[in-house]
Structure 1
Amino acid sequence: MKDTATVTTRTWRLDDTAPGTGTRQTMVLAAEHDRLPQVVYWGAPLPPEADLATLAAAHAIDVTGGMLDANPDLSLCPEAVRSFPGQPGLILRGEDGTPLLPKFHYASEDGSDGLALTYTDPENGLALTFRLTPDPSTRIVQLKTILTSERPVHLHWLAAPVLPAPQHSSEMIDVAGRWTGEFQLNRTPWSAGIRYRENRTGRTGHEHFPGLIVPATGATNTQGEAWGFHYGWSGGHRMIAEELPDGRRQIQFGHAARMETKPATRFESATLYVTYSPYGLNGCAVAFQRHARDRIVTWPDDARSRPVHYNCWEAVYFDHKLPVLTDIASRAAALGAERFVLDDGWFGQRDDDTRSLSDWTVDARKYPDGLGPLISHVHGLGMTFGIWFEPEMINPDSDIHRAHPDWALGGDDQTLGRQQKALNMALPEVRDFIYDRMAAILSAHDIDYVKWDHNRVLPMPDADQTRGSYALIDRLRAAFPQVEIESCASGGGRIDFGILKRTQRVWLSDSNDALERLRIQHDAALFLPLAVTGSHVGPRRCHTSGRILDISFRAWVAAQRHMGFEMDPRELDEHEARVLTEVTAWWKANRDWMTLADIHRLDAPDPAILAEQQQHRTGDRFVVFAGKAATSTQIAPRPLRLTALEPDATYQIELINRASAPALSRGNPILKDGPIDVSGTWLMHHGITLPWHFPETMWVLEGTRL
């Protein structure tokens, strides 16, 4: 950070500079007099000698008819009191409900860890602190806003530090979705006014993932500039992307409005993670992937390989019988599974989803000798054992609800979701109860994994609910540090960097349909690495779509991420078992380097193809997955360009599943004969010409730098 000052202007500079790699992005802030600072530059690295005062002055736009005599600052927290024409960054009222219009002035700064700037409003007894912390290793800048008050105030809206959006962008990309259809990318043109998205469901949500990519005009996955944003909070958020009448654009992220239900003297935003990319959407994706894997997630054992999962849900649902489960476990281990996860149905009187949530005691009807015999059998097969909980939820038909109806969040007449209510996680007695029940199970058995589910939205948004859930998970992590946790919320309903600080895996979707998963995984890679993204080989006939897909396609799609199985292995014929065993063995042989690899989305010239390149950080090796999701309009496959290679290096490329070419692939492309040695320039500018293949199939290529 470089700090300069003149009589009327303060300027600051943030660079993410890593040893041996140089600076990858620069952010410059400036403030006139003692006003709040605004970002006057964010993008490609500037020369060290750049005159920041000149940049601040050159950033200013002209004034003409129909405008104020000076343009109000688009600051880190735009102030309504200064005639700002757009959405303000702070809305609050006094304890008696009187609206407050703060006007902040410079107070102090601290450059010991990035940059912290504090501004005060003595008249209203308020202080506002902005924290900006670049991470040179991951190319992520972490931003946070903190508001303190001498007297309790009611908060309506507090934005994380507000950033300008680029003028040379024609659209923005945000993320929508639904159950079994998560991570759907929306491309919305910039226009005058607001792109306003708010999730008020009380969890991260299938519908409104808290992420945004703003590409420069013409940017693709692999080229052009892009700016990325992710708000790391699990309780519902608001995003504002606004184009002002003068043409300037702002991006705001914060908690969903009115989530703070009580007056207080301190509020803070969650962390907003941002990055700039000079090489397309992939630059943002790689930064988010690395930051999640290397900075956000804490691993019980860094050296342990990611184990192949088997989850019994779609094999037995609630019908738990010990002989059936032990047989299934034996078959799963023979296929290559290394962790057996016992899903919903092991507790209380849980024969369906209408009862017993929160009665976390083992069902003696199904397990007369407890869980011990099943766990011993699983361990005897060389697998570890995981178990399902839905700790934050309660069925009205449960012993605990009958004893403590006041523990449920919301009114008695609320609309149920999956026949359940949410527990009030703000109550210490509720958290103590859940902790004691879960700790009893985890203490009594050798369990290394919890699938933590969250199957309904909340009756109303409340930040205390999210903070209470975080506190419970933190307490359990401290008491059982060897236990990994998966965040599941009807699939991908709670995925963000806030929950990933406390968990090690996310269940991306309840859809095990490989065709749907291919697209969901491809788009989720803009934010999520392989290491945390669970993907399972589902049944021959998918339970959520009814689609029947070949075992090879199902297996290779699961092998793109943290691999597992979730079907009844008794349905597999000899061919299916052999293919699944072979693909699983390939995944195990490659998982250690793939876990640390960057996932680059490729620009396929055929819209039927969804392709990605998973590349070791050193660039020495990579694997390309080219999935065909639909029928192509042309007859022969178009060449697929790769990315992020050394132009002058030579790479050996091998189509490792070439034996699966169909009979209609009648030609003899060279890749069907064996590996080829070609240059990085050829791979990136001409591209790989693959053999013909059917829809709903996958080609897999391995690349090695020679």
Structure 2
Amino acid sequence: MNRVWRIDGARQTLVLGSREERLASVVYWGAALPADEDLLGLLDADMPDLTGGMLDAYPEVSICPEASRSFPGEPGLVLTDAKGLHLAPRFRYESAVEGEGHLVLTFVDDDLGLVYHAHFAIDPETNILQSHAVLEASQPVRLHWLAAPVFPAPQSCDEMIDFAGRWCGEFQPVRTPWATGGRVRNNRTGRTGHEAFPGLILPGRGATNTGGEACAFHYGWSGGHRMVAEELPDGRRQIQFGHADGTEMALATRFETAPLFSTVSDTGLNGCAVAFQRHLRDRIVTWPDPARPRPVHYNCWEAVYFDHSVDELKEIATRAAALGAERFVLDDGWFGRRDDDTTSLGDWVVDARKYPDGLGPLIDHVRSEGMTFGIWFEPEMVNVASDLFDAHPDWRLGPDDQIPGRQQFCLDMANPEVRDHLHARIAALLSAYEIDYIKWDHNRVLPAPDDAQTRGTYALLDRLRAEFPGVEIESCASGGGRIDFGILSRTQRVWLSDSNDALERLRIQHDAALFLPMAVTGSHVGPRVCHTSGRSHDMRFRAWVAAERHMGFEMDPRELTDAEAATLSRVTAWWKATRDWRSTADILRLDSADASVIAEQQLSGDGARFVVFAGLAQTSAQIAPRPLRLTRLDASARYRLNLVNRDDIVGLSRGTPALKSGPVELSGQYLMRHGVTLPWSFPDRIWVIEGKRL
């Protein structure tokens, strides 16, 4: 018997079909289908033709492709029994639970005692399709690989875009042409990682940021992932995501993938980006106080490093507040005997040498300046030179002769005693002091990947959040090292990169916006000479690049000239005046005719206002700036545009573009089809243009 199911959102339809009671396959996934579509007809129409030299039927690219069906590609499930013998399931239909916008399909293999569940749900407002798989066994088995429900890749897609990176160089798009065979990304570092963000974008032929068809995926798991994008010998394609293979270390009778978030777009890559941004901001992140504006940060790390002096920190706090900071974050160096990175991780007790009266005097001063107080932890780590390691060397994760990272080792977060100890130390500080923010770091990879480690970290975070619901948490992890929807269901901010180089940040922020909204993406104004790149940038460039996202400062404010302080104060005031609507705006990447320009348009939810950031990342090849085309405006409406940072125009800009002298009023059609003409600029500068619909 053949069976079909469909679930619908406002802008997409998913149709699944099962032939002869076998595992279901995705028959259709794309723009919304008519309500009266013949679904069994679709199942028949989806059957490809046969020719010589092949099997007499196609093994399905099912939601969990089965090796037992002679499937020629990567199977969706690899497992062995307790004796190590490989199991080859042949699942048959058992049941379906259908509802408005959601579906659960169950298939069984009675001979092997296995049950497979596939869950699907479409969010009608964010246009995100969420799916995950569950495997149950009557006897303990060892899982080597379980894919979330498998999707076909469109045939009209010529290339795929996934993401590589490094410390201070995160979110680097990698474009790979489709060809017979597979692209496999297997991140076995034990955390999401700089090296491989768990995302994939499949642009249709000719798609751009602002136009064309595309679909995209994100795997919401913080422990390392495996991605398979495979073209079979017959030309069919499949997309698989799951935990990194071989990371379920124990025999068990139940396994579950993380959620796979998917979306389709007919408005280019931006359609996918907006869906992810909205879903993360409005469905995944839970805000301690949703009505509270996002506060301007000050972080003391690049000002003092480990050299903490209460009097100096008070002076720095006063200056930061005068510049517009609303939250002061005390970074690494406040605990144990932490004078460098070789000691004291795990000893979460205030260093009496640096803070003889505890943290109270500093916190009281910070609050007297109108700021709240945040603090740095790295709970999952330990130094050998620490009281914790002396007492519990057995709590270290991995072998004694493993390679250290940053002079530190991982704690075994699967051990409940470890979690209880960390909870007690962190909770004691949160109870003793007025702390509203934790910067939660993770500065090395695991000695070997283990999913139990991630589940243990989740458990500790969940426990702390339940006990201290007013505390906001940032996922830092060396900047960019642990960013995914799994960790962001437990945190409210990510530190996108340890690079405060505005030029590097301009590109990193631009590409991360394919998944991340402004409200969660931390971006700071760094020192005049960047500590990670050695480059020096003008304060105007540094401040406006930070103002693209959740703004903060991370330098010694005592180094600022009067002119730099005035510029930073002015940009910060602008950020505060616009943050409410921009925190819920869509970030739209623009297609610039000038490859030197990295530009985006942040558009309010009602479309009534926008701001354009157009950064010149290098000297343009041509003399005259090319017009920059905007997107998603009302073609028949008129808009007033104003160059916010008109004072940044340089002397070599000698012409008379209208924006130089004052606001201009132009139609949406003109702005989208021709574009806005920008003034000439030096490289490493950025233009900021506000627009309002009249």
Q: In the alignment, is residue 307 of structure 1 matched against residue 295 of structure 2?
A: yes
SS of equivalent residue, structure 1 residue 400? helix
- The within-5 A match list for 1:257-296 is 257-296=245-284
**CA distance in structure 2 between the partners assigned to 1:266 and 1:512 by the alignment:** 44
Q: d(CA) in 1 for partners of 2:531 and 2:26?
A: 50
Query: Alignment partner of 2:466: what SS?
Result: helix
Q: Is residue 26 from structure 1 mapped to residue 4 from structure 2 by the alignment?
A: no
Partner of 1:83: 70
In the alignment, does 2:522 pair up with 1:529? no
Is 1:65 aligned with 2:52? yes
| SS in structure 2 of the partner of residue 596 of structure 1 | coil
Q: Where does structure 1 differ by over 6 angstroms across 4 or more consecutive aligned residues?
A: none
Correspondence for 1:255 among 235, 243, 247: 243
Which runs of no fewer than 5 residues in structure 2 stay unpaired? Answer: none
Equivalent residue in structure 2 for 1:498, among 465, 486, 489: 486
1:51 corresponds to which of 38, 52, 62? 38
- Tell me the C-alpha RMSD between the 2 structures: 0.5
1:663 partnered with 2:651: yes
Query: 1:283 deviation in Å?
Result: 0.4
Letter in 2 for 1:671: L
Quote the offset at 1:112 in angstroms: 2.8
Deviation at 1:205, TM superposition (A): 0.3
Q: Which whole-Å deviations, capped at 9, do the CAs of 1:123-164 have from their partners, x for residues lacking one?
A: 000000000000011000000000000000000000000000
- Tell me, what secondary structure is at the counterpart of 2:191? coil
Q: Give the 3-state SS of the residue equivalent to 1:29 in structure 2.
A: strand
Residue-by-residue CA offset, 1:232-252 (whole Å, 9 max, x unaligned): 000000000000011000000
The Cα offsets for residues 422-464 of structure 1, whole Å up to 9 and x where unpaired, read as 0000000000000000001110000000000000000000000
User: Where do residues 169-318 of structure 1 align in structure 2 (5 Å cutoff)?
Assistant: 169-318=157-306
Extract unaligned runs of 5+ from structure 1: 1-7, 18-23
Q: Equivalent residue for 2:86?
A: 99
Query: With structure 2 as the length reference, what TM-score do the two structures score?
Result: 1.00
The residue aligned with 1:431 is: 419
Q: 1:14 maps to what in 2?
A: 7
Give the fraction of aligned pairs with identical amino acids, expressed as a percent.
Answer: 68
**C-alpha displacement at 1:9, in angstroms?**
1.6
Deviation, 1:43, is 1.0
Quick one: distance in 2 between partners of 1:41 and 1:684? 32
TM-score by length of 1: 0.98
2:531 — aligned with what?
543
Q: 2:24 aligns with which of 37, 48, 62?
A: 37
Larger CA deviation: 569-578 vs 49-58:
49-58
- For residues 550-575 of structure 1, what are the alpha-carbon distances to aligned partners after superposition, in whole Å with 9 as ceiling and x for unaligned? 00000000000000000000000010
Supply the distance in 2 between the matched residues of 1:353 and 1:342 (Cα, whole angstroms).
Answer: 16
Secondary structure of 1:177 counterpart: strand
Aligned to 1:320: 308
Deviations along 1:476-518, whole A, 9 cap, x unmatched? 0001000000001011000000000000000000000000000
Deviations 1:163-196 (A, max 9, x none): 0000001000000000000000000000000000
SS in structure 1 at match of 2:170: coil
2:146 paired residue number = 158
- Aligned equivalent of 1:109: 96
1:470 partnered with 2:458: yes
**What count of residue pairs does the alignment treat as equivalent?**
693
CA distance in 1, matches of 2:639, 2:317: 41
Q: 1:486 maps to what in 2?
A: 474
Within 2, Cα distance between the matches of 1:117 and 1:29?
10
Query: What does residue 565 of structure 2 align with?
Result: 577
Q: Which segment is superposed worse, 339-348 or 63-72?
A: 63-72
Specify the SS of the correspondent of 2:345.
coil
Alignment of 1:589-600 (within 5 A): 589-600=577-588
SS of 2:238's equivalent?
strand
| AA in 1 matched with 2:47 | A
Partner Cα separation in structure 1 for residue 594 and residue 238 of structure 2: 35
Q: Structure 1 residues 141-150 or 50-59, which shifts more? A: 50-59
Distance 2:637 2:656 in 1: 27
Whole-angstrom distance in 2 between the partners of 1:138 and 1:112: 18
The CA distance in 2 between the partners of 1:659 and 1:567, in whole Å, is 24
2:556 and 2:671 map into 1 onto residues whose CA distance is 41
Trace 1:360-379 onto structure 2 (pairs within 5 A).
360-379=348-367
CA distance in 2, matches of 1:35, 1:236: 31
Worse-superposed segment, 117-126 or 50-59: 50-59
The aligned residue for residue 21 of structure 1 is none
Q: Secondary structure at the match of 1:111?
A: strand
Matched, 1:451 2:439: yes
Note the alpha carbon deviations across 1:553-600, whole angstroms, 9 max, x for none: 000000000000000000000100000000000000000000000000
**Which AA in structure 1 matches 2:560?**
L
User: What is the CA–CA distance in structure 1 between the aligned matches of 2:88 and 2:597, rounded to whole Å?
Assistant: 53
Task: Tell me the equivalent position of 2:111.
Answer: 123
Residues in 2 aligned to 1:674 and 1:108: alpha-carbon distance in whole angstroms: 65
Distance (whole Å) between structure 2 residues aligned to residue 170 and residue 95 of structure 1: 43
